[in-house]
Amino acid sequence: MRSEIDLRALDLRVIEQFLYREALLLDEKRWQEWLALYTADCFYWVPSVVGQNDPVDTVSLYAEDRMRMEMRIIRITHPHAWSQDFPTRMSHVVGNVMRDPDGGKGADGGINPRADLVVRSTVHILEHRKEEQRLFGGNVRHWLRREDGELKIAMKRIDLINCDAPMEVVQLFL
Amino acid sequence: MAPYDAAAIRALIEPDRVRRDIYIDPALFELELERIFGRAWIWVGHESQVKNPGDYVTTTIGRQGVVMSRHSDGKVYVLHNRCGHRGAKVVGDRDGNVRFFRCCYHGWTYRTDGTLRGIPMQRGYDGTGFDMADPRYGMMRLPRVESYRGFVFASLAATGPSLETYLGDARTSIDDMVDRSPAGELEVVGGCFRVVFRANWKIFLENLNDTMHPMVVHESSVEAGKIWAKEHLAEGAPDPLPVRFTRNNGFPYEFWEKLTLQAHAQGHSFMGGIFPPRRTDPVYMDYMAAMEQAYGKARTEEILAVDRHNTIFYPNVSIQSGYQQLRNIRPLAVDRTQMDVYAFRLKGAPDEFYKHTLIYSNVVNSPSSIVMPDDHEAYNRVQEGLLAQATPWVSLHRDAGRDRPDAEWTSANGTSELPMRNQYRAWLSYMTAEA
């Protein structure tokens, strides 16, 4: 209970800096540092349907526990990942950061992450590979938990506005 | 653009090599839409997508929009998505349920069997040549629609072989998928992945039974599975599913060589399994129990002994029966293809079992799969590479001349390029057939 109170008292600026740092680590592909922001029981979810209820009954663009996140990192950093032979580059802009007034209610897909605070934000991601750029955008929820005095991400959900559109492959984390 | 008469088309295909033109020439792509996608049986959907009267889903055959609907008579119809009046596309959504379809332009309405239901200010047509009952002013039905065990196929051509003849003995792969349900029925659930790549549709089709690519193309995801397992699993511990679905692609050549490839006279083919669906975990044991209750021990054994990886039904659908996946191939342009991926629930199987099906979907078939991007990289590079004038020929020689024909099927060792050679025999037959 104490950590919950501490987190609720956190200055929004501190939370913003935390999300900006996550974006920076993604942009700079500092994967291990990025992964270290997540709890051991974390879940990373990008639904394939608007308003998707859960990652179990419906397919997801990403529905990854820590094992799957670690596997993705091994793959994209492997020298023979041919689809990264001309690496993807990304630039994240994070904005509209606010405490989720609903506390993430009904949005956690039944994962029920242990969290002290749920934060909403908007992200625009510019992605470049080979000769072209494309743009992703959507709403993000972070379920945050304090562990050993540090903020950690217990769950991240990204609702892309084009989640159900035909798309070419997406390889990195969003 | 070169005009192609039958002789010119025949010159594109030899028994063991094909001209690069078939992948890059927009004129040939147009001909394919007309002669292959315009004539063949095309998978349009599964009956479970339109369970109730008024349910519909939309798709395309080539560039032509079609609607699959369930009418109040209980039957499934496949209609042109075109208003009988001035031609507007009537149904805008991907799916839904309606009492009737209504055109957004002049408000003409259609029953879900395609018949014209009403026209505003209908008296304006009194005494004109217009006939309300003429099906040409309805949402026209496709000339032929048939289904096999819930899989709905349609053809834009009024004549041609029956669905039974077209599927032939390759229907046994559909049987394999359906029989795995304790209730003998499948259900499309779980949404749909729509993945686009920048290559000709045939390059994807070739890859589905190409067993010489996984250990090369998928090296990075094979390693992801292997390294993760090494770092986290005790010696001899069973692989979690994501590990199994990645590292198995790294099996040695001898494994793939021993698989059997079966190519069907209609262009279809399948290969032996690489992710044996049989397991010993509690979820699978519950599933086995449900199967044995439904079919008895002996029949259950018989059903579960089948292990086929991708089965291709030429030209537009591929299933992985053991993991209840279906990939629908939609050619968009000569160098652009969309793949729609569906997952099926085995009716009567424990709920947990379906979760495994979706793990397969997510790991292997999602646009964010850690396996598929390397396939797409290869397809896209083939498309780019073939722009080179280096040689007009693409080689399909591996194990040519060693095929073993036997009635409807021709079989070969697992690493043969038989499936591709077989696809081009079917291609030639469609492309040179008299209209």
Confidence of residue B279 (pLDDT cuts 50, 70, 90): confident
Q: Express each pLDDT in A104-148 by its tens digit.
A: 999 999 999 999 999 999 999 999 999 999 999 999 999 999 999
Determine the pLDDT at residue A5: 47
CB contact burial B187-221 (16+ within 10 A = b; e otherwise)? bbbbbbbbbbbbbbbbbbbbbbbbbeebbebbbbb
Q: Taking residues B297-323, what's their average pLDDT?
A: 95
What torsion, rounded to 10 degrees, do the Cα atoms A123, A127, A132, A137 define?
-20
CATH superfamily of the domain spanning B170-432: Naphthalene 1,2-dioxygenase Alpha Subunit; Chain A, domain 1 (3.90.380.10)
Kindly tell me if the per-residue pLDDT of A3 is higher than 70: no
In angstroms, rounded to a whole number, what is the distance separating the alpha carbons of residues A120 and A142? 7
- Token pair of B13 as six digits: 């295909």
Q: Which residues contact B122 (CB under 8 A, 6 or more apart)?
A: B132
Residue type, A19: L
Chain B, 147 to 176: residues with Cβ < 8 Å from chain A are none
Interface touch A80/B221, C-beta < 8 Å: no
Confidence of residue A2 (pLDDT cuts 50, 70, 90): very low
**Nearest CB to B193 within list A48, A68, A72:** A48
**Nearest CB to A59 within list B220, B343, B372:** B343
Q: Taking residues A54-79, what's their average pLDDT?
A: 96
In angstroms, rounded to a whole number, what is the distance separating the alpha carbons of residues A77 and A172? 10
Token pair 């048939």 in the structure block, residue = B146
**Nearest CB to B370 within list A49, A59, A72:** A72
Q: What is the mean pLDDT of chain B?
A: 96
Name the helix (H) or strand (E) containing B317: strand B317-320
Confidence of residue B281 (pLDDT cuts 50, 70, 90): confident
Flag whether residue B355 sits within 8 Å of chain A, measured between CB atoms. yes
Query: How much of chain B, in percent, has pLDDT values that exceed 70?
Result: 99
Q: Which residue ranges form the domains of chain A, and what is each CATH number?
A: 2-160 (3.10.450.50)
In angstroms, rounded to a whole number, what is the distance separating the alpha carbons of residues B402 and B414? 12
In angstroms, rounded to a whole number, what is the distance separating the alpha carbons of residues A173 and A26? 7
In this structure, what DSSP letter does residue B361 have?
I
* Three-class SS state of B410: strand
Determine the pLDDT at residue B259: 94
Flag whether residue B301 sits within 8 Å of chain A, measured between CB atoms. no
Q: Global pTM?
A: 0.95
Q: Express each pLDDT in B336-387 by its tens digit.
A: 999 999 999 999 999 999 998 999 999 999 999 999 999 999 999 999 999 9
Cα A67 to chain center, whole Å?
Answer: 15
**Nearest CB to A61 within list B338, B368, B374:** B368
Query: How much of chain B, in percent, has pLDDT values that exceed 90?
Result: 93
Please report the DSSP string for A89-139 in residue order.
EEEEEEEEEEE-TTTTTTTSTT-----SEEEEEEEEEEEEETTEEEEEEEE
In angstroms, rounded to a whole number, what is the distance separating the alpha carbons of residues A27 and A34? 10
Flag whether residue B63 sits within 8 Å of chain A, measured between CB atoms. no
Determine the pLDDT at residue B278: 84
- Domain B42-159: state its class: mainly beta
In this structure, what DSSP letter does residue A172 have?
S
Determine the pLDDT at residue A6: 57
Contacts of B376 in chain A (CB under 8 A): 83, 168-169
User: Taking a C-beta distance cutoff of 8 angstroms, is the pair B414, B260 a contact?
Assistant: yes
Domain boundaries in chain B?
42-159, 170-432
User: Taking a C-beta distance cutoff of 8 angstroms, is the pair B314, B267 a contact?
Assistant: yes
Chain A, 72 to 131: residues with Cβ < 8 Å from chain B are 72, 74-76, 78, 80-85
Flag whether residue B191 sits within 8 Å of chain A, measured between CB atoms. yes
Q: Express each pLDDT in B83-108 by its tens digit.
A: 999 999 999 999 999 999 999 999 99
Determine the pLDDT at residue B280: 85
Interface touch A59/B338, C-beta < 8 Å: no
Determine the pLDDT at residue B230: 95
Confidence of residue A1 (pLDDT cuts 50, 70, 90): very low
Q: What are phi and psi of B212, to 5 degrees?
A: -95, 0
Interface touch B366/A171, C-beta < 8 Å: no
Interface touch B370/A75, C-beta < 8 Å: yes
Kindly tell me if the per-residue pLDDT of B402 is higher than 80: yes
Determine the pLDDT at residue B119: 98
In sign, the C-alpha dihedral spanning B327, B330, B333, B338 is negative
* Three-class SS state of A60: strand
User: Taking a C-beta distance cutoff of 8 angstroms, is the pair B411, B259 a contact?
Assistant: no
Kindly tell me if the per-residue pLDDT of A10 is higher than 90: no
Contacts of B377 in chain A (CB under 8 A): 82-83, 85
Contacts of A86 in chain B (CB under 8 A): none
